[in-house]
Homo-oligomer: A and B are copies of this chain.
Amino acid sequence: MDFEEKDMLACCGSTKFVREMVLASPFASLDLAVSAARDIWFNKVDVSGWLEAFAAHPQIGESSSSNTTSAGWSRGEQSTAVATATDSSLQELAEWNARYRQKFGHIFIICASGRSTDEILAELKKRYSNRPIVEIEIAATEQMKVTELRLAKLISAKAEAASKGDS
């Protein structure tokens, strides 16, 4: 399974992560791709690279109207949150997002897949009390969960395209 830079960039917005994953590819399976991704993300990408990746996401509760692969996946990951949102919960989420960003200097990152707006808001409030160095590692762990889901989507899309003979 060979990867190009644009494939990897849709999974994680860190330049170093993308470059190292392309160098490490091809991968014989999703498991091997995920192992390589974890090693690169936690051991080789520095903290500035983590911040670069966080900045590539829309803020939680906000959806990008862009038609990039990444924006489409983000809308899918936030579909439970969108289905369970009310005007007042979205308002509260926007206020807490702003407080969070003021304290930590980066947006709140959570793997939103399957999570309701209330669950996301509860997590945000709980994590807000963390020290910045603790919180950035939690955010990086959530980013890795998002990356793993996206690697799986990417590999299955590639397999499907290959089986149709158009790849």
Contacts and interface: CB of A to CB of B under 8 A. Distances in A.
Interface of A: 42-49, 51, 103-106, 131-133, 136-137, 140
A48 B43 CA distance: 19
B137 A49 contact: no
Query: Main SS of the interface on chain A?
Result: helix
Contacts of A137: 133
Contact of A47 (B42, B44, B45, B47): B47
Contacts of A48: 51, 105
A30 B131 CA distance: 24
A46 B140 contact: no
A132 B45 contact: yes
A42 B137 CA distance: 15
Contacts of A43: 131-132
Interface hub of A42, A46, A136 (most chain B Cβ within 10 A): A46
